Amino acid sequence: MYPGVSERIKSMVMDQVTVVFLLLITSSIVEANPTMPRYVNIGLFVLIFVYEPFMTSFLGGTIGHFMVGIRVKRQSNDSRNIPLPMAVIRVIVKYIFGVFSFISMSMGNKDLAIHDYVSGSVVVYKKEKE
C-alpha cells in the first residue's frame, strides 16, 4: 500500500510552511546585516530553493515527508533514495504541474504522481528500521 493524495498534500503543505519560515529567517538575517556581501545574500536564498531536492536525495524526504511518515525512494529499488539530478527534475515537474500532478495517482498501482513517473521515484511509508 502506498500513501495517498491526502498524505502527500499534507507533506507538501508542511514543506511550504517550512520554506516560508526559512524565507522569513533568511530575510531577517539579510536585513539585519546590510554590509553582508551580495553573493552571501543570494547564496542564502538559493539554499532555500534547493531544500527539497537535497533533502529528498540525501535523506529520502523533506521535513513534511518526515512529519507525515512517508519517504521518496527509487521505483526500481524502494530501499534507495533517488539521485540528486532526478530529485531536481522531480521538483521542477512538481512545480510546473502543481496539484494537477497528483491527478495521475489514481491511474496506476503505486499511486504515482506525474513527477514520480518522470523522475523514477515512488513515495512509500517510512520503514521501521530507518
- Which three cell numbers, joined as nine digits, stand for 21? 519560515
Neighbours of 66 (CB within 10 A): 17
What pLDDT does 130 receive?
Answer: 58
What pLDDT does 125 receive?
Answer: 95
**What is the spatial distance between Cα 9 and Cα 6, in angstroms, rounded to a whole number?**
5
CA angle 121, 124, 126 (to 5 degrees): 130
- Which three cell numbers, joined as nine digits, stand for 75? 521505483
What pLDDT does 129 receive?
Answer: 62
What pLDDT does 108 receive?
Answer: 72
Tens-binned pLDDT, residue by residue, of the chain (130 aa) = 789 889 999 999 999 999 999 999 999 999 999 999 999 989 988 988 899 999 999 999 999 999 999 999 999 999 999 999 999 999 999 989 887 887 888 777 778 999 999 999 999 999 866 5
